[in-house]
């Protein structure tokens, strides 16, 4: 940790005994940090915390620092976790000064690990100050000599006299000079942050920044025909000098000489709006504290050099990587702590939430990305979702009154998604309503203050608690327009994606122009945590990419962060340092996500799983982590980490996986490997880049080329005069036709998952959904957003539709969740492990009620002898039964007979599942058509997305049955009345299963088609299971050739 302590008395004291203008230095620091409240602590890792108004001695003592009460101390420590215990002999300020207010700034935690040495203060400040002034005397002599110097620099450019950051700190007048790397040794000095360095230099009256004129940037010199071909794809680049804190959407590209390019490169270039910054890494050289990359331009094929220095030298990049380089210099490109960005493998889009969630524990962020279903919802999350919706709908209305708000809250409580979540948590609407009504007055107050909402009627704001003094200064301005709600943005420029709560047009106090900014809503306590603030910065970068022509109100103005619980609203700065650190973290996460399984002869399976990020070893946080078992099992069987006795993991790992036997841990390792191989090889087959997903073709290929491949449709428009049909909360029907009226080609199919973007590819992923209906002249899509309003005409009228292939990643993540659940320390999971992993054979039931068998006599009589024996076998089994049958042997008829026997005759509850939607609907169709008098909407429910349900079984679908449900009690009664519940193996995220409902029997039809982990999922919810299928007919679909040798289905021996 590096800290800056600024005494209030020094702000008033003009000159110290050493001749340093401390007052000027302190004031510049306050201006730099935008501190209005002297009692606030500003955290450049974006975590401000109140210090409180304490006496200076108490404040200093609290930090563990002994010394004078009036000080200006700059120091760096050898440990990032401990403060130095003593700093000696600083000049004393007279005791009659007013009480000091101490400020602290915790600088960037991502700096390299410091040396064990502690940097101590040196008394030779005056002498070094004099040396520095003598060094730059020519620049302070006179205006004439200054102009002469500048003219000389222009005629013969040379490096700035300012020393590099590392060396400058090493000889800082406030630290002892130590041997630098250039002198043959490694400096133990911890480098200060950019802001700290700049303030230090300014405080010592260094004048070279004022007189220095940067080398003019080189203008674009492209071939005119090529520039014209890119005009539609790209915003014009500004021809102006780029400053340090710049909007990277306005960076001028360095000049690239004309050169012949291949047809493939030209096509790629023409479809990338930001092609000027896109390169392939050809060579890497590390020397003298920098990393020099040789990059090949996607546009021209020419090679350029890119010099990484400062924190960027830690960037993990290899030959062959695709990078987006943003530099403010000409050739060679230079990226350092103060300017520039390098985005590694930008086609791998990472959500802003994933990037900031890794700030605390990267290991948890990776596990959360690869495992689904382990982090259940809670009341706080539901309250947040509803408050988001209320805020967004209220903003649309403009004028509000008490009746409107009450109706709005009631409507939200009656939404099917809300009722389902309440049902899953076993909560009532009353509990939720009380919580919402407590927060609602703060929302009304915010709308009145910042949006100018008109309050009509007699709205009573009783119960509204005025927010306490906020941690950050509150924004002063107005929201003039809501441009979009839940705007989905994909940014291949920065390798990011996200969904912004509100995109708003704002005018700040004193500003002459308006700007469109992201507004992020939070419903928790106003903590202004690094995760919350970092999320706003990332959204600001993504919005810059989408609206590149916008002129910012403030070059550092990133966005707004609003806490609905008390209405606190602060502007979150998007400075160069924050953008740099977040992009570096994004690059780290991209590399971690891209780690591959490699061949290894030393491993029993012949493959080595990648190592996960290191554990944080935070005992309290780790104990409550939903991924603790997965994390501990991975440490034990994959990483094989051993810890000393005093390490937290030495206790946590045995406690988490101590109940698992060696064979069960080996099973966990085997299937973790298989799922990794399957996901890894699936990506390879779909893409040209190992570090991307198949979605990258959407921005690297034209819509016409994608259409020729059968992966999309180009030149599409919404049919004139038709409005979107709201079929459900998450399914809005749109009908698209060709703009030219031509026929729609082949390639897309019903149920394909698609992304809708603007035709020019600038506005990516405007909406997503499924193909509902496909004709020769039109296509109907069920999307998650309404595109008919065209967002007030601000975005696009012509669209492209692209098929995506995320199903494999989604299914493997669900299967990993089932595997983790199988390892749970519970009695039911232990029984399943004995049957599935240890292959324990359970005896049949010795006695069975004759009366129960006779009750199904009429059903059994209709079957042939083999089918009758199978039914009796199922009834007599204790825990499970396996039924194998060749094609045409009547397996579907047997399943229908089992449903009639168990549910209609014996009053058993049955969970019917299959790996595919078609197999489930085939059984239900036969059941409803032939035995409708016994089964129907009164006792059967088909769960799953309505777009995947066949029309002839739609009457029993969940969407249809719950359409008129208005209370949680009604929903509970509805589900309790269903004796047969049908769904797929991968659709068990329904609230009914979150509630923990147990069925008497689970029947898995076509079980041989299901991978073993997929078939395990439904077994957690039944006392007994029956597997029906033929392992010699249709085996599980396995993409990976390597995994096929080890893969097995649930029916395999």
CATH architecture type of domain 712-804: Beta Barrel (2.40)
pLDDT value at residue 377: 67
pLDDT for position 458: 53
Least confident piece of the model among 90-94, 372-376, 771-775, 778-782: 90-94
Q: Tell me, what's the pLDDT at 11?
A: 39
What one-character DSSP code corresponds to residue 824?
Answer: S
Residues 384 and 435: their CA atoms lie apart, in Å, by 10
Q: Is the pLDDT of residue 459 over 70?
A: no
Chain segment 887-904, per-residue pLDDT in tens: 888 999 999 999 999 998
Statement: residue 175 has pLDDT above 50: no
- pLDDT (tens digit, 9 = 90+) per residue, 981-996? 999 999 998 888 988 8
Q: Is residue 393 within 8 Å of residue 408, measured between CB atoms?
A: yes
pLDDT tens per residue, range 473-499: 888 888 988 888 888 999 999 999 999
Per residue in 280-300, pLDDT (tens digit) is 999 999 988 899 999 999 888
- DSSP secondary structure of 159-187: --SSPPHHHHHHT-TTS-----GGGTS--
Q: Convert the pLDDT of each residue in 111-123 to its tens digit.
A: 344 444 433 333 3
Output the pLDDT for position 110: 39
The sheet that has 910-914: what strands, in order across it? 880-884, 1022-1029, 999-1005, 910-914, 980-984, 940-942
**Could you tell me the CA-to-CA distances from 461 to 400, 443, 521 in Å, in that order?**
13, 10, 21
Say yes or no to pLDDT of 103 above 60.
no
Helix (H) or strand (E) holding 929: helix 917-930
Distance CA 249, CA 253 (A): 11
pLDDT for the residue 378: 77
Q: What is the mean pLDDT of residues 164-171?
A: 34
What confidence score (pLDDT) does residue 858 get?
A: 87
How do residues 318-349 score in pLDDT, each as one tens digit?
Answer: 999 999 998 877 788 999 999 899 999 999 99
- Comparison of pLDDT for 198 and 883, the residue scoring more: 883
Rounded to whole angstroms, the Cα distance separating 257 from 222 reads 7
Beta strands in 939-984 (DSSP E): 940-942, 980-984
Residue 1033: pLDDT band by 50, 70, 90 thresholds?
confident
* One-letter-per-residue 3-state SS of 426-468: CCCHHHHHHHHHHHHHHHHHHHHHHHCCEECCCCCCCCCCCCC
CA gap 190, 194 in Å, rounded = 13
More confident residue, 57 or 813: 813
- Summarize pLDDT for 746-769 with one digit per residue, the tens: 788 887 889 999 888 778 888 888
User: What pLDDT score was predicted for residue 730?
Assistant: 57
Q: Is 259 left (phi over 0), alpha (psi -120 to 50) or beta?
A: beta
Which comes out higher in pLDDT, residue 811 or 896?
Answer: 896
User: CB-hemisphere CA count at 13 Å for 277?
Assistant: 31
In the predicted model, is pLDDT for residue 444 greater than 90? no
Among the ranges given (89-103, 692-706, 715-729), the one the predictor scored with the smallest mean pLDDT: 89-103
pLDDT, tens only, 565-605: 888 999 998 888 999 999 999 999 999 988 888 888 888 77
CB 911 within 8 A of CB 1021: yes
pLDDT value of residue 192: 34
**Which residues touch 943 (CB under 8 Å, ≥6 apart)?**
958, 981, 982, 983, 987, 990, 992
CATH 3.90.320 holds for 380-460+471-587: yes
Q: How far apart are CA 641 and CA 240, in angstroms?
A: 54
Confidence of residue 399 (pLDDT cuts 50, 70, 90): low
Q: CB-hemisphere CA count at 13 Å for 731?
A: 17
710: left (phi over 0), alpha (psi -120 to 50) or beta: left
Residues 650 and 646: their CA atoms lie apart, in Å, by: 7
Distance of alpha carbon 748 from alpha carbon 763, whole angstroms: 22
DSSP structure class, residue 744: P
Q: Is the pLDDT of residue 518 over 90?
A: yes
Task: Please say whether the beta carbons of 417 and 382 come within 8 A.
Answer: no
pLDDT class for 533, splitting at 50, 70, 90? very high
Residue 25 confidence (pLDDT): 46
Residue 410's H or E segment, with its range, is: helix 402-413
Q: Cα dist. 970→10, 911, 937 in Å?
A: 69, 21, 15
DSSP SS3 for 199 = helix
Identify whether the C-beta of residue 301 lies closer than 8 Å to the C-beta of residue 259. yes
In 3D space, the residue among 295, 253, 229 whose CA is nearest the CA of residue 702 turns out to be 229
Task: Check whether 635 has a pLDDT greater than 90.
Answer: yes
**pLDDT higher for 901 or 684?**
901
**Domain ranges (residues) in the chain:** 273-344, 380-460+471-587, 595-693+810-842, 712-804, 845-1045
Q: Which stretch of 417-426, 517-526, 847-856 has the lowest confidence by average pLDDT?
A: 847-856
Dist CA 545 CA 497 (whole Å): 11
Query: Contact, 484 vs 392, CB < 8 A?
Result: no
Q: Check: CB of residue 39 under 8 Å from CB of residue 50.
A: yes
pLDDT tier, 198 (very low <50, low <70, confident <90, very high otherwise): very low
pLDDT at 653: 94
pLDDT band for 684, please (50, 70, 90 cuts): low
Nearest C-alpha neighbor of 910 from the set 849, 920, 1008? 920
- Per-residue pLDDT band at 32 (split at 50, 70, 90): very low
Distance between CA atoms of residues 277 and 263, nearest Å? 19
pLDDT at 670: 92
Average pLDDT over residues 156-170: 38
What is the DSSP-derived secondary structure letter of residue 1030? -
d(C-alpha 99, C-alpha 101), whole Å: 7
Is pLDDT above 80 for 6?
no
What is the pLDDT, as a whole number, of residue 667?
Answer: 94
CATH superfamily of 845-1045: P-loop containing nucleotide triphosphate hydrolases (3.40.50.300)
Q: What is the pLDDT of residue 537?
A: 95
3-state SS, residue 911 = strand
pLDDT at residue number 762: 79
DSSP for 609-671, please give it: PPPPPPP---HHHHHT-TTHHHHHHHIIIII-----TTSTHHHHHHHHHTTS-HHHHHHHHHH
Classify 273-344 by CATH class.
Answer: mainly beta
Which range has the worst mean pLDDT, 66-70, 123-127, 1003-1007? Answer: 66-70
DSSP state of 953: G
What does the pLDDT read at residue 454?
59
Query: Given this model, what pLDDT does residue 1036 score?
Result: 81
DSSP 826: S
Alpha carbon distance, N-terminus to C-terminus of the chain: 58
Which residues lie below 8 Å from residue 581, measured CB to CB, with a gap of 6+? 45, 108, 110, 311
DSSP percent split of the chain into helix, strand, coil, nearest 5: 40, 20, 45
Proportion of the chain above pLDDT 70, given as a percent: 66
Distance from C-alpha of 77 to C-alpha of 89, rounded to nearest angstrom = 17
Mean pLDDT of the chain: 73
Residue 723: the pLDDT is 63
Residue 7 binned pLDDT confidence (cut-offs 50, 70, 90): very low
**Which whole number is the average pLDDT over 46-70?**
37
Share of the chain above pLDDT 90, in %: 31
Backbone phi, psi, residue 423, to 5°: -60, -40
Length of the chain: 1053
**Which pLDDT does position 808 carry in this prediction?**
59
Is the bond into 483 cis (omega within 30 degrees of 0)? no
User: For residue 912, what pLDDT is reported?
Assistant: 97
pLDDT tens, residue by residue, 207-263: 333 333 333 333 333 344 433 333 333 333 333 333 333 343 443 434 333 444 455
What is the three-class DSSP state of 846? Answer: coil
């Amino acid at each position: 940790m590096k800290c800056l302590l600024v005494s209030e008395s020094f702000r008033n004291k003009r000159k110290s005994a050493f001749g340093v203008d401390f007052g000027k230095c302190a004031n510049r620091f306050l201006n730099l940090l935008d501190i209005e409240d002297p009692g606030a602590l500003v955290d450049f890792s974006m975590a401000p915390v109140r210090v409180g108004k304490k006496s200076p001695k108490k404040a200093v003592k609290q930090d563990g620092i002994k010394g004078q009460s009036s000080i200006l101390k700059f120091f760096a420590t050898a440990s990032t976790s401990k403060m130095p215990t003593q700093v000696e002999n600083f000049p004393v300020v007279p005791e009659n000064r007013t009480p000091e207010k101490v400020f602290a700034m915790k600088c960037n935690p991502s700096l390299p690990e410091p040396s064990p040495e502690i940097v101590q203060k040196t008394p030779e400040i005056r002498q070094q100050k004099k040396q520095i002034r003598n060094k730059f005397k020519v620049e302070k002599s006179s205006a004439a000599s200054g102009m002469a110097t500048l003219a000389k620099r222009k005629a013969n450019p040379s490096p700035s006299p300012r020393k590099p950051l590392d060396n400058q700190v090493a000889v800082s007048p406030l630290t002892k000079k130590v041997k630098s790397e250039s002198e043959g040794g490694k400096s133990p000095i911890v480098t200060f942050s950019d802001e700290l360095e700049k303030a230090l230099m300014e405080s010592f009256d260094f004048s070279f920044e004022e007189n220095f004129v940067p080398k003019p940037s080189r203008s674009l010199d492209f071939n005119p025909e090529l520039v014209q071909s890119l005009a539609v794809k790209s915003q014009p680049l500004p021809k102006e000098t780029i400053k340090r804190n710049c909007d990277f959407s306005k960076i001028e590209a360095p000049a690239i000489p004309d050169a012949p390019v291949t047809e493939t490169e030209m096509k790629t270039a023409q479809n990338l709006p930001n092609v000027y910054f896109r390169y392939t890494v050809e060579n890497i050289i590390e020397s003298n504290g920098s990393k020099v990359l040789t990059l090949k331009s996607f546009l021209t094929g020419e090679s350029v050099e890119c010099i990484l220095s400062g924190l960027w030298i830690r960037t993990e990049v290899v030959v062959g990587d695709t990078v987006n380089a943003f530099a403010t210099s000409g050739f060679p490109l230079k990226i350092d702590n103060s300017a520039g960005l390098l985005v590694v493998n930008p086609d791998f889009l990472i959500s802003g939430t994933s990037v900031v969630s890794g700030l605390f524990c990267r290991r948890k962020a990776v596990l959360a990305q690869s495992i689904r279903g382990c982090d259940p919802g809670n009341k706080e999350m539901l309250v947040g979702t509803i408050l988001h919706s209320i805020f967004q709908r209220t903003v649309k209305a403009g004028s509000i009154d008490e009746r409107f708000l009450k109706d709005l809250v009631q409507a939200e409580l009656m939404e099917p998604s809300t009722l389902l979540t309440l049902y899953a948590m076993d909560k009532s609407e009353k509990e939720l309503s009380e919580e919402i009504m407590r927060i609602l007055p703060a929302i009304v107050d915010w709308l009145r203050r910042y949006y100018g909402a008109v309050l009509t009627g007699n709205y009573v704001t009783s119960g509204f608690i005025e927010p306490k003094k906020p941690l950050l200064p509150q924004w002063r301005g107005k929201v003039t327009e809501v441009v979009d709600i839940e705007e989905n943005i994909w940014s291949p420029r920065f390798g990011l994606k996200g969904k912004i709560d509100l995109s708003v047009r704002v005018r700040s106090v004193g500003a002459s122009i308006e700007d469109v900014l992201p507004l992020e809503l939070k419903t928790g306590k106003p903590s202004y945590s690094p995760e919350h603030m970092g999320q706003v910065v990332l959204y600001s970068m993504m919005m810059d990419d989408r609206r590149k022509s916008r002129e910012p109100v403030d070059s550092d103005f990133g966005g707004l962060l609003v806490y609905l619980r008390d209405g606190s609203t602060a502007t979150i700065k998007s400075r160069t340092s924050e953008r740099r650190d977040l992009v570096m973290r994004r690059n780290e996460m991209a590399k971690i996500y891209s780690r591959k399984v490699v061949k290894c002869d030393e491993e029993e399976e012949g493959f080595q799983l990648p190592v996960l990020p290191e554990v944080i070893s935070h005992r309290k946080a780790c104990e409550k982590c939903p991924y603790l078992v997965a994390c501990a099992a991975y440490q034990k069987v994959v990483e094989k980490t051993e810890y000393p006795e005093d390490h937290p993991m030495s206790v946590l790992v045995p406690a988490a996986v101590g109940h698992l036997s060696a064979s069960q841990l080996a099973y966990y390792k085997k299937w973790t490997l298989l799922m990794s191989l399957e996901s890894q090889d699936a990506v390879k087959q779909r893409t040209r880049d190992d570090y991307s997903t198949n979605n990258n073709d959407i921005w690297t290929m034209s819509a016409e080329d994608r259409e020729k491949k059968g992966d999309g449709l180009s030149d599409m428009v919404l049919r004139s005069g038709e409005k979107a049909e709201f079929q459900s909360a998450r399914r809005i029907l749109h009908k698209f036709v060709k703009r030219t009226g031509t026929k729609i080609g082949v390639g897309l199919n019903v149920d394909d998952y698609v992304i809708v973007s603007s035709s020019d590819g600038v506005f990516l992923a405007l909406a997503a959904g499924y193909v509902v209906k496909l004709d020769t002249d039109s296509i109907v899509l069920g999307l998650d957003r309404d595109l008919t309003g065209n967002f007030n005409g601000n975005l696009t009228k012509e669209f492209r539709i692209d098929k995506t292939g995320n199903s494999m990643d989604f299914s493997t993540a669900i299967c990993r969740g089932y595997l983790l659940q199988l390892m749970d320390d519970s009695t039911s999971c232990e029984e399943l492990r004995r049957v599935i992993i240890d292959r324990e054979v359970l005896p049949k039931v010795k006695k069975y009620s004759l009366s129960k068998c006779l009750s199904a006599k009429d059903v059994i009589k209709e079957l042939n002898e083999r089918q009758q024996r199978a039914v009796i076998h199922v009834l007599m089994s204790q825990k499970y039964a396996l039924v194998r049958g060749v094609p045409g042997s009547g397996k579907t008829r047997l399943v229908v007979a089992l449903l009639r026997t168990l549910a209609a005759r014996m009053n058993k509850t049955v969970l019917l599942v299959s790996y595919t939607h078609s197999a489930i609907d085939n059984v239900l169709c036969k059941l409803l058509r032939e035995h409708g008098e016994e089964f129907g909407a009164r006792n059967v429910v088909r769960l799953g997305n309505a777009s995947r349900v066949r029309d002839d079984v739609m009457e029993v679908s969940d969407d249809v049955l719950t359409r008129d449900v208005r209370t949680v009690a009604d929903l509970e009664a509805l589900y309790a009345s269903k004796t047969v519940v049908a769904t797929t193996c991968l659709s068990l995220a329904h609230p009914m299963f979150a509630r923990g409902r147990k069925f008497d029997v689970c029947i898995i039809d076509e079980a041989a088609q299901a991978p073993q982990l997929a078939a395990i999922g439904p077994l957690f919810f039944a006392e007994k299971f029956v597997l029906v299928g033929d392992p010699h007919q249709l085996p599980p679909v396995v993409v990976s050739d390597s995994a096929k040798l080890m893969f097995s289905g649930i029916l395999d021996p």
